[in-house]
Structure 1
Amino acid sequence: MHNDAQHLSPPPQRPNVPTVPAHIPQPLRDCFAAQHAAFQKQRCPSLAERRADLRALHRLLVDNREALVDAVNRDYGCRSRFETLMTELLQAQEGLLDAIKRLPRWMRREKRSLDISQYPLASAWVQPQPLGVVGIVVPWNFPIAMAVQPMIGALAAGNRVMVKMSENSAHLARLLQEVLPRYFAADKVSVFADRGEDGASIGPLFTQLPFNHLFFTGSPQTGRAVMANCAPNLTPVTLELGGKSPAIVAPGYPLDKAAERILWVKMLNAGQICTNVDYLFVPQGREQAFIQHAQRIVAQRYPNLLGGEYTAIIDQRQYDRLQAMLQDAIAQGAQAVPLAPGQSGDAARRIMPPVALLNVHDGMQVMQREIFGPILPILSYQNRDEVTQYINDRPHPLALYLFSHERALQQHYLTQTLSGGVTLNDTLLHVGQHHLPFGGVGNSGMGHYHGHEGFLTFSKLRPVFQQGPIRTVNFLQPPYAGLASKVLDVMLWRNR
């Protein structure tokens, strides 16, 4: 019988190069190809090489500090210099130094236990390995920190990195493109502005590249589009989204202290923070007292909103959105209470004074959408169950803030609600802890980063089993009658 198979030549060996769609702009294609090729040549950088990368990123931040602050200020129109230094550069530099210190332990393989059929002669461990080329999509609200923090995990894990900046971070993107070659080869780290040569956004095209992992920070709506773009390549994604994060003041907690800590985050970056307090629960009858404390605190901290320490709204579209949201609430019966009475702000410079809203309801835009600005809706409550029900009837928030010293009440909210992260008796601070993972859940995101969790996110935890000198599975092989059955009976007995 004729056998055609013996006359067929073996199929050509294809290089391990992912397919990049033809419509992707050439600069993105070339950069991805170069980074992928570089990774194939050096698939597992040493501890010394990874530490060198992290030190280079740290030097970039230190050497170019004033230029970075100025670029972000120009992108905002008015961005508090102190806030840029504290929330972006300090946080990023601390994170880098901490990763450099702890990287040897992160890279170490982790021994794992064996099941009864292999114990005690074999061995097993988990070995973290780099994934390859990582894409990072950066938002505009904290553009330095949100570029550097995921990059720490990606470089620590031994990957190559491509970064896409926001359309509202054009000055910062140009600066990074200018200085980056002094610290990294393009096949190790590259930064792209949002606008291509034709003026169109490259965001959707960037997320269609066949990355080994994509990290995105933005809105839930855009997050869905990002996942759809990643699906054809089966690119794993980490999504840091947002939502409406609540704060709850318990009846026994000092109202002045709660107001002080809530107003700190509500006015930081003019409220443009994904983990900001989006609405506040206070005990029924305490609304006016809270507002009085809030007005006093704002007057003390920001006697002049136009003096440069209070940040502007990022662009006209966002400013108009916030104003429309405020007017919609007022038109539907909300009472707007200025928290900086006597200060009118500056519409031309997009300086928006903080305002509290009373008598809000779910039909208002301000209670339906993430605010991302200095508007604070205040709701009253009579018991903890109605607060819990309200939170659980809505998508899981990125953060939850509870002001209470009662352990039982803390435990109630921790067990009966679900959010990305929690700060008790303060706001925002869980985000800045390098040893706590940061990430959302459900509508507010998926996956974690910061510290060790960031390293794990950008690593493949590769399980390895090594057979010992005696193969215990031999005792369980056919014929099953006799020794195999007796050994199996013993195992079943021990696991009864």
Structure 2
Amino acid sequence: MASGNAARMREILDKQKAAHIREGAPSAELRMDRIDRCISQLIKYKDEIADALCEDFGHRSKDQTTFTDVVSSLGPLKHSKANLRKWMKPEKRKVEAPLNLLGAKARLEYQPKGTIGVISPWNFPVQLTFAPLANILAAGNRAMIKPSEFTEATSALMEKMFSEVFDEEEIAVITGGPEVGGEFCALPFDHIIFTGATSIAHHVMRAAAENLVPLTLELGGKSPVIIGRSADMEKTAARVMNGKALNAGQICLAPDYVFTLEESVGAFVDASQKAVAKMFPTGLKDNDDYTSVINQRHYDRLQGYLEDAKAKGGEIVEINPAGENFSQQPHHKIPPTLVLNPSDDMDIMKDEIFGPLLPVKTYKGVEDAVSYVNAHDRPLGLYYFGADKAEEAKVLNSTTSGGVTVNDVIFHVAQEDLPFGGVGPSGMGSYHGHDGFKEFSHKKSVYTQTGNEILAMFRPPYGETFRKQLAGRLKG
């Protein structure tokens, strides 16, 4: 028997589907208006968003939030608004000869799918709601959003933001815990986009399969960094540690482990310590720029990784520029920490870390690093540092990942004209820009037949002309 939450969610979905059928595909003007409403709410509530996320995390840099959740949401929305008229145009396709010479035509039309279910995560709850919406709304769809229960204040704020400017027939926000999330996944949406852990994606996919709902899964995994011999170590470490310190490493694309030459480990450690000290010159514990781990459970999980690594022979290098004591603190901050000599039996090398911990592995030849990457699940991101174009080509051509950034980390996700998505355990499907518009559209093939009766020869009764046509097509 369905719960009250399930019944209410189904009622909203039915209303959205009925409105979609009744009103048809929205005009470009209406799509742009919906995007404008999103933009206006992000700007109006930018300070409240920063406050809510700081409350949810215990501490989260408000400047970071403005950048990663507000400004980084506005970019995709503005990009979709600027391009959606062009994206909406039918696409001409070729017709086979001789029908193309006789007036037959073929085209592809991009139709709204209907209602898209959006399941957004806790690490960037605003950005990972509004960025998909940029493409969802550009494609003419409606949406139901299930934000994370881990960021309760932010989820409640987003419910308020959307309800102020959208009727629930257009966009509705559903809040609640895991039970509500399970019921949400079981609804017969026209498409679901889920951003989160691979372990949860199994449940989402299983529930969606009951209604044959197509999915976009944006997951994660262990994104490697391969530092080539030709890399500038100071610059490399600064960029890697920025990616690891941003949001305290709670990013699906955060560098998860580093490969460097055996003789370069010391240089990487030294450069990493300098980079962290430069980013956080007053220390970390009370620094407004350094974010906390989301909650006690994840804090304990990360501490468990360090204890396990130490017990199995790993060397722990805590990067703590001011020598602060983190054993007593009001929040769940963990300093950026390197784990040297990691072995594959360590928990930190098995699971996606999702925190400010970074194992550092060594290799003798770049083929060793490539072989290691290929022996594990295909990652969401891969990062190569170096000026050796032949080595770069070898790494990129010999590995498969969702995306790549060369000589930095994470930045490929910020390019709106590049599709963002994983491969295999790191995800399926992709969005951003034109690719996102296509992801949330039904690509409908339309063929218009010629008025010429040349095809009459293919109708019964079959005769000699028909057989000659077949004979011609049977030739190699």
Q: Same fold (TM over 0.5)?
A: yes
Mean Cα deviation higher: 446-455 or 33-42: 33-42
SS in 2 for 1:278: strand
Distance in 1, matches of 2:410 and 2:69, equals 14
Cα separation, partners in 2 of 1:67 and 1:22, compared to 1, 3 Å: closer
Q: 2:425 aligns with which of 430, 443, 452?
A: 443
Distance in 2, matches of 1:344 and 1:145, equals 33
Distance in 1, matches of 2:179 and 2:308, equals 31
Distance in 1, matches of 2:10 and 2:393, equals 51
The Cα offsets for residues 252-296 of structure 1, whole Å up to 9 and x where unpaired, read as 111111101101100000000001100000011111111101101
Aligned twin of 1:62: 43
What does residue range 28-107 of structure 1 map to in structure 2 within 5 Å?
28-107=9-88
User: Is 1:336 the equivalent of 2:307?
Assistant: no
Deviation (angstroms), 1:492: 5.3
Cα separation, partners in 2 of 1:349 and 1:22, compared to 1, 3 Å: closer
Q: 1:183 aligns with which of 160, 165, 169?
A: 165
What does residue range 78-477 of structure 1 map to in structure 2 within 5 Å?
78-116=59-97, 118-120=99-101, 121-195=103-177, 201-303=179-281, 304-305=283-284, 306-341=286-321, 342-345=323-326, 347-477=329-459
Q: Does structure 2 retain, via aligned residues, the 8 Å contact 1:315–1:350?
A: yes
Q: Does structure 1 retain, via aligned residues, the 8 Å contact 2:58–2:292?
A: yes
Mean Cα deviation higher: 242-251 or 20-29: 20-29
Cα separation, partners in 2 of 1:471 and 1:327, compared to 1, 3 Å: farther
SS in 2 for 1:119: helix
Deviation (angstroms), 1:477: 3.5
Deviation (angstroms), 1:21: 5.6
User: Is 1:26 the equivalent of 2:7?
Assistant: yes
Q: Does structure 1 retain, via aligned residues, the 8 Å contact 2:227–2:260?
A: yes
Cα separation, partners in 2 of 1:357 and 1:471, compared to 1, 3 Å: farther
Cα separation, partners in 2 of 1:119 and 1:285, compared to 1, 3 Å: same
The Cα offsets for residues 182-205 of structure 1, whole Å up to 9 and x where unpaired, read as 21111100112223xxxx641111
Q: Does structure 1 retain, via aligned residues, the 8 Å contact 2:310–2:316?
A: yes
* Amino acid across the alignment from 1:224: H
Q: Does structure 2 retain, via aligned residues, the 8 Å contact 1:478–1:484?
A: no
Distance in 1, matches of 2:205 and 2:359, equals 32
Aligned twin of 1:17: none
Distance in 2, matches of 1:428 and 1:344, equals 30
Deviation (angstroms), 1:22: 6.7
Q: Does structure 1 retain, via aligned residues, the 8 Å contact 2:149–2:155?
A: no
Deviation (angstroms), 1:23: 7.2
The Cα offsets for residues 122-166 of structure 1, whole Å up to 9 and x where unpaired, read as 000110001111101010000000011111111111111000010
Q: Which of the pair has more CA radius of gyration? A: 1
Mean Cα deviation higher: 155-164 or 466-475: 466-475
Distance in 1, matches of 2:183 and 2:111, equals 27
Distance in 2, matches of 1:194 and 1:447, equals 26
Deviation (angstroms), 1:220: 0.9
Distance in 1, matches of 2:191 and 2:100, equals 36
Distance in 1, matches of 2:325 and 2:195, equals 32
The Cα offsets for residues 356-399 of structure 1, whole Å up to 9 and x where unpaired, read as 01111000000000000010100010112111110111011110
SS in 1 for 2:13: helix
Deviation (angstroms), 1:427: 0.6
* Amino acid across the alignment from 2:14: A
The Cα offsets for residues 287-313 of structure 1, whole Å up to 9 and x where unpaired, read as 111110110111111122122110000
Distance in 2, matches of 1:242 and 1:461, equals 28
The Cα offsets for residues 389-426 of structure 1, whole Å up to 9 and x where unpaired, read as 10111011110000122222122112211111100111
Distance in 2, matches of 1:471 and 1:418, equals 50
Distance in 1, matches of 2:442 and 2:377, equals 30
Q: Does structure 1 retain, via aligned residues, the 8 Å contact 2:191–2:440?
A: yes
Deviation (angstroms), 1:448: 0.3
The Cα offsets for residues 213-266 of structure 1, whole Å up to 9 and x where unpaired, read as 011011111100111111110111111111100000001111111101101100
Distance in 2, matches of 1:373 and 1:416, equals 28
The Cα offsets for residues 102-137 of structure 1, whole Å up to 9 and x where unpaired, read as 001111110000123522220001100011111010
Deviation (angstroms), 1:491: 5.0
> Runs of 4+ in structure 1 displaced over 6 angstroms?
none
* Amino acid across the alignment from 1:335: E
Mean Cα deviation higher: 146-155 or 368-377: 146-155
Q: Does structure 2 retain, via aligned residues, the 8 Å contact 1:475–1:487?
A: no
The Cα offsets for residues 64-114 of structure 1, whole Å up to 9 and x where unpaired, read as 111111111111111111111111211110111111110011111100001
Determine what percentage of the aligned residue pairs are the same residue.
37
Deviation (angstroms), 1:344: 3.3
Query: May I ask how many residue pairs the two structures share in their alignment?
Result: 471
Cα separation, partners in 2 of 1:344 and 1:353, compared to 1, 3 Å: farther
Distance in 2, matches of 1:472 and 1:309, equals 73
SS in 1 for 2:270: helix
Distance in 1, matches of 2:185 and 2:5, equals 10
Q: Does structure 1 retain, via aligned residues, the 8 Å contact 2:112–2:140?
A: yes
SS in 2 for 1:248: strand
* Amino acid across the alignment from 2:402: G
* Amino acid across the alignment from 2:245: M
SS in 2 for 1:285: helix
